[in-house]
């Protein structure tokens, strides 16, 4: 077996592309992306997405949120941090758990604070001067109780991969990082229940489950798995790539432990699948985006890891064909269908542009207007292959699919996935992106992209040359969940673009009873627009809950509702 480790076909493939690419463009950003791609494909170790340094080509770089959105004012009820406060935290948590820019500010400390102040998209930047990294639930409780008493605002932060600006402070809120609470507490291979601390990185949890004597799988998977944390996943109620198969976190999370701003520990770490005893309060924390309290522990139901997985990539002539393919996939693959993802030609062209890799379907008469990635997961490889083979044959014969390919090995399967999972990152490398993560009944889903593209074109904002602020309007997403990611990739910040997009996009969605935020949440970015998807009564009830759990409003202020 000596050769298995040194031999890395994918790595080789990508590094080779990398070197030729670098030869041509010699840009740091491209090297960085290629490095990330390599990392993403060749290792299952947690990989810090944040270390891609180049994402900010076009947009107003690293501008403070407070400068960019002057209409948001600091709430002067909140106290300003003093060295006395910090001394208390140091005493509570120890020096190593505190990044302190209050007592003796310096450029070096600012560098340490920077990653906690800027979000993944580099769209939002806060002014925090203090990061606290508690190691236990008790410490979290002590910190929050103190903050509540002294009216110090707090932003809980996980892997900081959230896409709506919810994970970073706006002003001087304290960042409460859960990253040191990263222990896996227990796993029962019979029931499949995993109990872990909130700071465990998603990929680490999945790797742990994969290597268990009876391999299991984490019921959530998403492109940011190498950085995002379980607490962050719950707080955003992340959906991800396999919701189609394993359902939402509202179904898989069995229990959790959270700390309220008062310091009260909500111990609802139930590991039972059934427990109909009273209001099921854990659901309030799932998707609360840190506005009610800090999640510290999670109990989640994990399925057996499928022994056999197959991945196919299809090229299709129209969105209507994608719908028919999805319908056929449900009918013919039924219980083994584990993902059905949609990508339009524009999104694939951008990934090609950024990575310099050849698209897997480039040979077969591509590019096609649409691509669908189909994944099956099952327990019997032969059974699955037979079913998938019959499905592929039928969609090809009936003309639903123009072309496609089937991964012949695991490396190819990962490569195919990279063309879907790499879109978010590739877009980020090209400049600022307006992101809309929406849910629309399937029949109309892609029409939003077409309508938006037409509107941007009408305004004369989109084109090939540098004079056009918009590079492309693309759509991709979790077709199986009727969840579309509408992304408008820009070359630079231009306020006309925002004017054309909003409120147009939201109104379009409202007319069709869609959701303006399907899985990324509200954060700062979507706070204003909740009214398009929830009526006044609902928002009113939500505000009552917020007032009850966080009467002083110290938890993640300026955001959510």
Partner 1 sequence: MSALRILVPIKRVIDYAVKVRVNKAQTGVETAGVKHSINPFDDLSVEEATLIREEKLGRRAPGGVEEICAFSAGPPKAQEILRTALARGADRAIHVELKEGEDLEPLSVAKLLKAVVEQQKSNLVILGKQSIDDDANQTGQMLAGLLGWPQATQACKIEFGEADAVSVTQEIDGGTQTVRAKLPMVITTDLRLNEPRFATLPKIMKAKKMPLEKKTLADYGVSGEKRLKVLKVIEPPPRQGGGKVENVDGLISKLKELGAI
DSSP 8-state code for residue 535: -
What are residue 378's DSSP bridge partners? Answer: 308
We find the least distance from the C-beta atom of residue 265 to partner 1, in angstroms, to be: 27
CB of 72 or CB of 308, closer to partner 1: 308
Site string for ligand FAD, 441-480 (x = CB under 6 A): ----------------------------------------
- Length of the chain (residues): 561
- Considering only residues 409 through 428, tell me which ones interact with partner 1, judged by CB under 8 A: 409-412, 414, 416
CA distance 161 to 232: 9
CA distance 311 to 421: 14
Which of 462, 466, 465, 460 minimizes the C-alpha distance to 474? 462
CB of 46 or CB of 360, closer to ligand FAD: 46
Task: By CB under 8 A, tell whether 83 contacts partner 1.
Answer: no
Phi-psi region for residue 149, left (φ > 0), alpha (ψ -120 to 50) or beta?
A: alpha
We find the least distance from the C-beta atom of residue 389 to partner 1, in angstroms, to be: 7
CA distance 343 to 373: 8
Number of residues that bind ligand FAD (CB under 6 A): 39
CA distance 98 to 93: 7
We find the least distance from the C-beta atom of residue 288 to ligand FAD, in angstroms, to be: 7
Q: Which does 160 bind (CB under 5 to 8 A by kind): partner 1, ligand FAD, none?
A: ligand FAD
Q: Which does 163 bind (CB under 5 to 8 A by kind): partner 1, ligand FAD, none?
A: ligand FAD
We find the least distance from the C-beta atom of residue 203 to ligand FAD, in angstroms, to be: 11
Asked if 551 and 543 touch (Cβ cutoff 8 Å), the reply is no
Secondary structure element (H or E) that encloses residue 505, with its range: helix 504-511
CA distance 423 to 26: 22
Site string for partner 1, 455-494 (x = CB under 8 A): ----------------------------------------
Burial (CB count <10 Å: 0-12, 13-18, 19+), residue 321: buried
Asked if 339 and 415 touch (Cβ cutoff 8 Å), the reply is no
Task: By CB under 8 A, tell whether 180 contacts partner 1.
Answer: no
Determine which residue in the list 393, 450, 458, 507 makes contact with partner 1, applying CB under 8 A.
393
Q: Which does 149 bind (CB under 5 to 8 A by kind): partner 1, ligand FAD, none?
A: none
Concatenated DSSP letters of 2-23? TTTTT--HHHHHHHHHHHHHHH
Task: By CB under 8 A, tell whether 392 contacts partner 1.
Answer: yes
- In sign, the C-alpha dihedral spanning 533, 534, 536, 539 is negative
Asked if 178 and 296 touch (Cβ cutoff 8 Å), the reply is yes
CB of 406 or CB of 561, closer to partner 1: 406
Burial (CB count <10 Å: 0-12, 13-18, 19+), residue 446: buried
Task: By CB under 6 A, tell whether 120 contacts ligand FAD.
Answer: yes
Q: Which does 475 bind (CB under 5 to 8 A by kind): ligand FAD, partner 1, none?
A: none
Number of residues that bind partner 1 (CB under 8 A): 39
8-16, 189-197, 237-245, 467-475 -> range binding ligand FAD (CB under 6 A): 237-245
CA distance 516 to 297: 29
Task: By CB under 8 A, tell whether 103 contacts partner 1.
Answer: no
Asked if 393 and 381 touch (Cβ cutoff 8 Å), the reply is no
Asked if 308 and 379 touch (Cβ cutoff 8 Å), the reply is yes
Copy the structure tokens of residue 555.
């938890």
Determine which residue in the list 198, 440, 486, 497 makes contact with ligand FAD, applying CB under 6 A.
198
Question: How far lies 470's CA from each of 56, 400, 463, 466, 498, in Å?
Answer: 15, 32, 7, 9, 11
Task: By CB under 6 A, tell whether 424 contacts ligand FAD.
Answer: yes
Biggest CA-to-CA distance, the chain: 73
Task: By CB under 6 A, tell whether 169 contacts ligand FAD.
Answer: no
72-80, 157-165, 446-454, 525-533 -> range binding ligand FAD (CB under 6 A): 157-165
CA distance 508 to 514: 9
Q: Which does 224 bind (CB under 5 to 8 A by kind): ligand FAD, partner 1, none?
A: ligand FAD
101-109, 395-403, 441-449, 502-510 -> range binding partner 1 (CB under 8 A): 395-403
Task: By CB under 6 A, tell whether 161 contacts ligand FAD.
Answer: yes
Asked if 400 and 328 touch (Cβ cutoff 8 Å), the reply is yes
Task: By CB under 8 A, tell whether 373 contacts partner 1.
Answer: no
Task: By CB under 6 A, tell whether 422 contacts ligand FAD.
Answer: no
Nearest-CB residue for ligand FAD? 232
CA distance 3 to 352: 31
Determine which residue in the list 46, 126, 134, 166 makes contact with ligand FAD, applying CB under 6 A.
166
Determine which residue in the list 62, 112, 188, 363 makes contact with partner 1, applying CB under 8 A.
363
CB of 275 or CB of 358, closer to partner 1: 358
420: Cβ–Cβ under 8 A, 6 or more apart, which residues?
241, 341, 343, 373, 476
Q: Which does 159 bind (CB under 5 to 8 A by kind): ligand FAD, partner 1, none?
A: ligand FAD
Instruction: Give the residues lining the site for ligand FAD (CB under 6 A).
Output: 49, 120, 155-163, 166-167, 178, 198, 222-224, 228-229, 231-233, 235-236, 238-241, 289-290, 294-295, 424-425, 519-520, 523, 556
Instruction: Give the residues lining the site for partner 1 (CB under 8 A).
Output: 1-4, 7, 9, 12-13, 16, 96, 211, 307-308, 312-314, 358, 360-361, 363-364, 381, 389, 392-393, 396, 401, 403-412, 414, 416
């Amino acid at each position: 077996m000596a050769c298995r480790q040194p031999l890395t076909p994918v790595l080789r493939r990508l590094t080779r592309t990398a070197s030729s690419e670098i030869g041509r463009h010699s840009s740091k950003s491209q090297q960085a992306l290629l490095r990330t791609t390599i990392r993403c494909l060749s290792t299952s170790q947690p990989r810090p997405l944040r270390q891609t340094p180049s994402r900010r080509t076009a947009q107003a770089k690293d501008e403070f949120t407070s400068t960019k959105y002057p209409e948001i004012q600091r709430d002067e009820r909140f106290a300003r941090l003093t060295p006395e406060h910090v001394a208390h935290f140091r005493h509570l948590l120890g020096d190593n758990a505190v990044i302190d820019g209050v007592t003796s500010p310096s450029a070096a400390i600012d560098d340490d604070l920077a990653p906690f102040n800027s979000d993944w998209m580099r769209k939002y930047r806060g002014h925090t001067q203090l990061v606290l990294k508690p190691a236990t639930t008790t410490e979290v409780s002590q910190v929050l109780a103190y903050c509540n008493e002294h009216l110090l605002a707090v932003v809980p932060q996980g892997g900081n991969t959230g896409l709506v600006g919810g994970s970073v402070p706006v002003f001087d809120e304290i960042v409460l990082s859960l990253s040191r609470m990263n222990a896996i507490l227990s796993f029962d291979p019979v029931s499949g229940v995993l109990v872990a601390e909130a700071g465990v990185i998603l990929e680490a949890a999945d790797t742990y489950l994969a290597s268990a004597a009876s391999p299991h799988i984490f019921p959530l998977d998403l492109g940011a798995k190498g950085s995002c944390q379980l607490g962050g996943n719950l707080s955003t109620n992340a959906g991800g790539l396999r919701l189609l198969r394993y359902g939402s976190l509202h179904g898989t999370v069995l229990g959790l432990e959270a700390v309220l701003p008062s310091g009260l520990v909500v111990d609802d770490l139930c590991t039972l699948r059934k427990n109909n005893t009273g209001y099921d309060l854990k659901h309030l924390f799932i998707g609360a985006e840190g506005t009610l309290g800090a999640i510290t522990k999670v109990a989640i139901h994990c399925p057996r890891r499928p022994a056999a997985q197959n991945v196919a990539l299809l090229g299709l002539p129209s969105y209507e064909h994608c719908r028919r393919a999805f319908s056929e996939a449900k009918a013919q693959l039924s219980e083994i269908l584990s993902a059905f993802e949609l990508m339009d030609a524009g999104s694939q062209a951008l990934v090609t542009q950024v990575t310099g890799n050849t698209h897997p379907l480039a040979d077969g008469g591509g590019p096609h207007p649409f691509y669908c990635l189909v994944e099956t997961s099952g327990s019997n490889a032969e059974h699955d292959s037979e079913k998938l083979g019959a499905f592929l044959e039928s969609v090809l014969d009936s003309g639903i699919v123009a072309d496609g390919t089937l991964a012949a090995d695991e490396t190819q399967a990962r490569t195919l996935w990279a063309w879907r999972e790499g879109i978010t990152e590739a877009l980020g490398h090209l400049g600022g992106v307006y992101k809309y993560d929406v849910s629309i009944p399937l029949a109309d889903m892609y029409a939003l992209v077409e309508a938006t593209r037409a509107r941007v074109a009408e305004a004369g904002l989109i084109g090939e040359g540098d004079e056009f602020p918009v590079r492309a309007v693309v759509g991709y997403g979790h077709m199986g969940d009727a969840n579309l990611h509408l992304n408008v990739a820009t070359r630079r910040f231009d306020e006309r673009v925002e004017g054309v997009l909003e409120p147009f996009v939201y109104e379009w969605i409202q007319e069709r009873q869609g959701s303006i935020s399907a899985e990324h949440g509200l954060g700062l970015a979507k706070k204003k627009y909740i009214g398009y998807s929830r009526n006044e009564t609902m928002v009113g009830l939500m505000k009552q809950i917020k007032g009850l759990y966080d009467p002083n409003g110290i938890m993640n202020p300026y955001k959510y509702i």
